[in-house]
A = this chain, B = another copy of it.
Amino acid sequence: MTMKSDVEIARAAQLRPIAEIAGTLGIAEEHIEPYGRYKAKLTPAALAGANGANGKLILVTAINPTPAGEGKTTTSVGLADALHRQGKKTVVALREPSLGPCFGMKGGAAGGGYAQVVPMEDINLHFTGDFHAITTAHNLLAALIDNHIFQGNALDLDVNRIVWKRVLDINDRALRHVVTGLGGRVHGIPRESGFDITVASEMMAILCLSDGLTDMKRRLGRILIGWTRGGRPVHADELGATGALTLLFKDAIKPNLVQTIGGTPAFIHGGPFANIAHGCSSVMATKYALKCVDYVVTEAGFGADLGAEKFFDIKCRLAGLSPNAVVIVATVRALKMNGGVPKDALGTENLDALRRGAANLEKHIENVGKYGVPAVVAVNVFPTDTEAELALLTELCARLGVTAVRSEVWAKGGEGGLALADAVMDALGKPADFHPIYDAKKSIAEKIETIAKEIYGADGVDFTDAAQKQMAEMETLGMTETPVCMAKTQYSLSDNPALLGRPAGFRITVRELRASCGAGFVVALTGNVLTMPGLPKVPAAMGMDITEDGVITGLF
């Protein structure tokens, strides 16, 4: 039997009309806006008629990942399908994939194998246009800034201190650093600038943190666009077009409803970068879901040191959410890599390396405990894993007082996640006492130090001169009592991607602080954070095709 590709599996799935899926949530057909036959947006009115549940919130996070990712989305979908199979009312709440990585490295981001959200080809491509709305609004604001300067610069903006760049949902390294406004007097004012990928836009974070259009408008207006020559911060509102920016989000703000291959309702909405933003799907989608069903499975970007920390300290704090259980996804392969095994030897049994690498998992388990939420480990099984390795991993987790279960959702869908579902139900039976790791009222330095010491295991934090100067600016901006959004490598608990496992005796260097005044957090950058990816030598786009009849190949 030949292995089927993700797109083949997805196309073979029997989908139910989206109105039927909405119906299972208690949402009437007139409260959804269909996009094709199998996608819909949920209107605010949908909530009114929803089942009225008060669901439990389950976060799926992971150990520090290898470059290929550890299967958080796949595990989230499979777990939700397993709960659904057990007759439990469940929704999986995911992030929307970005087009850039889809055509670059990854191919797609809608789960994998038999644990996918469908229609995967739509979700991976333009979906319902939410990201395009962000691209448009972000670039409209940029155009308004340059136009303001061109038309006389009444605000006295300093062209060397415009912080608002442009975005495209494409991997395009040539746009990272550009000079715009060239060509002479009638073509604008020359200045240095650049493009980020759309998912890195502050507007994406705003979309994901807003609780409605009014809140969103307020946040959009507060975006810091730059500074005057006199050193005064200038916010988007001063350009007078916050209403127009909000208008562009009139549909994007509505959560999207699709389904998994297993027939579980899926809310897919927003997808902010997990480094310069908080990397979680929208607050509105999560809150809608909790009103509709008893169990909501959601995910956060990268490993638990980044994704879960920001899910807890930013999303849950700002939205008043209280998570009830956490699933930490681990793979034998990635733990062996954390134990020092090179990439090309990961297929060989190596219990010593696994034992060493499991220190990474151990730290993440400890960390989740610090937030007061019960944890379960999901071992995402690969064909190369040996029974001895899997048994050792279970044993190591048991010693830490945590259940580890094998997850085979990629190969078997919900059926492969039934054991995981049982373990999650056990965890939900334990008392949860969620609390963020730091007090937002503390100083920025104290907040960062708490995260670095408690979560990363660092000895302390060093701030560069630039970062110290920016810390003072945060006072001017009124951004001292907000959460902190850490931008750090996902490959290590430290800020050095080479330090795998559970490093010790290191310090974190914060080299820059940025104010996301609209999103409502201060970004602390450690190391080099790339906000516009590049394409590889052979982009995934090369292998893609579609026939006249719509048969798609090359989308993973």
- Using a CB–CB cutoff of 8 Å, the interface residues on chain A facing chain B are 33-37, 41, 99, 103, 121-122, 125-126, 129, 132-133, 135-136, 139-140, 142-144, 146-147, 150-152, 166, 168-184, 186-189, 192, 194, 212-214, 217, 240-241, 243-248, 250-251, 534-535, 537, 539, 541-548, 550, 552-555
Contacts and interface: CB of A to CB of B under 8 A. Distances in A.
B144 A241 contact: no
B188 A174 contact: yes
Contact of A187 (B173, B251, B535): B173
Contacts of A217: 546
* Interface SS, A side: mixed
Given A35-B35, A132-B132, A177-B187, 13 more contacts: A33-B35, A125-B247, A143-B171, A143-B174, A150-B173, A174-B188, A175-B180, A176-B187, A179-B179, A240-B542, A243-B554, A246-B545, A250-B552
B250 A546 contact: yes
B142 A132 contact: no
B541 A140 contact: yes
A327 to B, nearest CB: 33
13 contacts: A35-B36, A129-B132, A135-B135, A136-B170, A143-B172, A143-B174, A147-B539, A152-B537, A168-B168, A173-B187, A178-B179, A179-B182, A247-B552
Contacts of A187: 173-174, 176-177
A155 to B, nearest CB: 14
Contacts of A173: 146-147, 150, 181, 186-188
A146 B171 CA distance: 11
Tallying the copies of this chain within the complex gives: 2
Contacts of A184: 177
Contact of A139 (B136, B172, B552): B172
Contacts of A543: 243
A237 to B, nearest CB: 12
B126 A251 contact: yes
Most chain B CB inside 10 Å of its own CB: which residue of A173, A176, A543: A173
A181 B179 CA distance: 9
Contacts of A244: 103, 541-542, 544-545, 554
